[in-house]
Chain A
Amino acid sequence: MRTLPPNHPASVLLVLLLSLVPAQAGEPVIVVHPESRIQSLTRDEVINIFMGRQKRLPNGTVAMPVEQAQPPALRARFYQLLVGKDLPDISAYWARLLYSGQAQPPQALTAEEVLEVVSENKGAIGVLDAARVDRRVRVVHSLTR
Chain B
Amino acid sequence: MLRKTITCLALAALGLPLPAQDGDPRLRVSGFGTLGLAASSSSLAEYVREPTQPRGVRQDLDPRLDSRLGLQVNLNLSESFSVVGQAISKYRYDYTFKPDLSWAFLSYKPTSSLQARAGRLGFDVFQIADTRNVGYSYLWTRPPVDFFGPLMLSSLDGGDLSWQGSLGEGVNLRLKVAAGRTAAIDKVPFGDAGGYVPLGGSKLMGTVAEVDWEALNLRLSYAQAKPSSKFPPPITDLQNGLNAFALLLNDPGLARQARGVDFQENLFRYYSVGLNWHSGPFRLEAVGAQVRAGEGPIPDLKSGYLSLGYRVGEAVPYFLVSRIVSDPHTLYLGALPALGPEAAALATAVASFIQHQRANQTTFALGVRGDFHPKAALKLQVDHSTGEPKDLMLWLNVRSGWEGKATVGSVTLDFVF
Taken residue by residue from 88 to 110, chain A's Cβ proximity to chain B (1 for < 8 Å, 0 otherwise) reads as: 11011101101111001001000
The contact of B121 among A55, A96, A101, by CB within 8 Å, is A101
On chain B, the residues within 8 Å of A89 by CB distance are 278, 311
Which residues from chain A contact B32 at a C-beta distance below 8 Å? 95, 99
| Complex Cα spacing A26 to B291, Å | 51
Inter-chain contact B278/A96, CB cutoff 8 Å: no
Residue from A54, A84, A101 with most neighbouring chain B CB atoms (10 Å): A101
Does A60 count as interface, using CB distance less than 8 angstroms? Answer: yes
Q: Is the pair B112, A56 in contact by a Cβ cutoff of 8 Å?
A: yes
Query: Which one of B28, B122, B278 contacts A104 once the chains associate, using CB atoms below 8 Å?
Result: B28
B67 in contact (CB, < 8 A): no
Indicate which residue in B28, B105, B112, B278 contacts A54 across the interface (CB closer than 8 Å).
Answer: B112
Interface residues of A (CB under 8 A from B): 44, 47-48, 53-56, 60, 62, 64, 72, 84-89, 91-93, 95-96, 98-101, 104, 107
Interface contact A96-B107, CB-CB below 8 Å: no
A55 touches B112 (CB 8 A): yes
Contact B137 A92 (CB under 8 A): yes
Given A95-B136, A96-B128, A99-B137, 10 more pairs with CB closer than 8 A: A54-B112, A55-B112, A85-B278, A89-B311, A91-B136, A91-B374, A95-B131, A100-B130, A101-B86, A101-B121
B384 interface residue per 8 A CB criterion? no
Contact of A84 among B25, B28, B280, B374 (CB under 8 A): B280
6 A-B pairs closest in CB distance: A88-B371, A56-B112, A95-B137, A96-B137, A62-B79, A101-B84
Which residues on the B side are within 8 Å of A72 (C-beta)? 374
How many inter-chain residue pairs (CB < 8 Å) link A and B?
85
Q: Does B264 interact with chain A (Cβ within 8 Å)?
A: no
Closest-CB distance, A64 to chain B (whole angstroms): 7
In the assembly, what is the distance between CA of A87 and CA of B311, in Å?
12
Cβ-based interface call for B356 (8 A): no
Q: Is the CB of B74 within 8 A of A104?
A: yes
Encoded as 1 (CB less than 8 Å from any A CB) or 0, chain B from 301 to 331 comes to 0000000000100100000000000000000
Convert B243-278 into 0s and 1s, putting 1 for each residue whose CB lies closer than 8 angstroms to a CB of A: 000000000000000000000000000000000001
Of B6-14, B164-172, B225-233, the stretch lying at the interface with chain A is B164-172
Q: List 18 A-B contacts (CB under 8 A).
A: A53-B212, A54-B112, A54-B113, A54-B164, A55-B112, A64-B25, A84-B280, A85-B278, A85-B280, A87-B374, A91-B375, A92-B377, A96-B131, A96-B134, A96-B137, A98-B30, A99-B134, A101-B105
Pick the most buried of A54, A64, A92, A96: most chain B CB atoms within 10 A of its CB.
A92
A85 to B107, CA, bound (A): 29
B172 lies within 8 A of A56 (CB): no
Is A107 within 8 A of B25, CB to CB?
yes
With A84-B279, A89-B278, A107-B25 already in contact, the answer to whether A99 and B70 are too (CB < 8 A) is: yes
Report Cα–Cα, A91/B23, bound state, in Å: 19
Pairwise interchain contact B86-A92, C-beta atoms closer than 8 A: no
Q: Across the interface, name the chain B residue whose C-beta is closest to A113.
A: B23
Residues from chain A with Cβ under 8 Å of B280 in the complex: 84-85
B386, CB-defined interface residue at 8 Å? no
Contact B172 A101 (CB under 8 A): no
CB distance from B378 to the nearest CB of A (A): 12
Closest to B30 in A: A98
Residues in B neighbouring A53, C-beta threshold 8 A: 164, 172, 212
The smallest C-beta distance from B316 to any residue of chain A, in angstroms, reads: 8
From A95, which residue of chain B is reached at the shortest CB distance? Answer: B137
Cβ-defined contact, A86 with B105, below 8 A: no
| In the complex, B124 has a CB within 8 A of chain A | yes
Q: How far is the CA of A53 from the CA of B113 in the complex (A)?
A: 9
Q: A88-B314, A92-B138 are in contact. Are A98 and B109 (CB under 8 A)?
A: no
The residue in chain B whose Cβ has the minimal distance to the Cβ of A57 is B112
Q: Which residue of B lies closest to A47 (CB)?
A: B170
- For residue B132, give the distance in angstroms from its CB to the closest CB of chain A: 10
Interface string of B347-384 (1 = CB under 8 A from A): 00000000000000000000000010011010000000
**Distance to closest chain B CB from A119 (angstroms):** 16
**B137 and A101 form a contact (CB under 8 A):** no
A107 to B70 CA separation, bound complex (whole angstroms): 21
Tell me the residues in window 12-59 of chain B with beta carbons closer than 8 Å to chain A beta carbons: 23, 25, 28, 30, 32
Taking a contact as CB atoms closer than 8 A, the residue among A54, A92, A100 that contacts B136 in the complex is: A92
A9 to B396, CA, bound (A): 59
Q: Name B88's closest neighbour in chain A (CB-CB).
A: A99
Chain B residues with CB under 8 A of A60:
112
Nearest CB in chain A to that of B370: its residue: A88
Tell me, rounded to whole Å, the shortest Cβ–Cβ distance linking A139 to chain B. 22
- Give the complex CA separation of A107 and B124 in angstroms: 25
Residues on A with beta carbons closer than 8 Å to the beta carbon of B111: 56
Distance A56 CA – B314 CA, assembled complex (angstroms): 34
- Give the complex CA separation of A62 and B79 in angstroms: 7
Q: What is the minimal beta-carbon distance from B370 to any residue of chain A, in angstroms?
A: 9
- Considering the complex, give the chain B residue whose CB is closest to the CB of A58: B112
Shortest beta-carbon distance from A78 to chain B in Å:
15
For the complex, what is the distance from the CA of A91 to the CA of B314, rounded to whole Å? 13
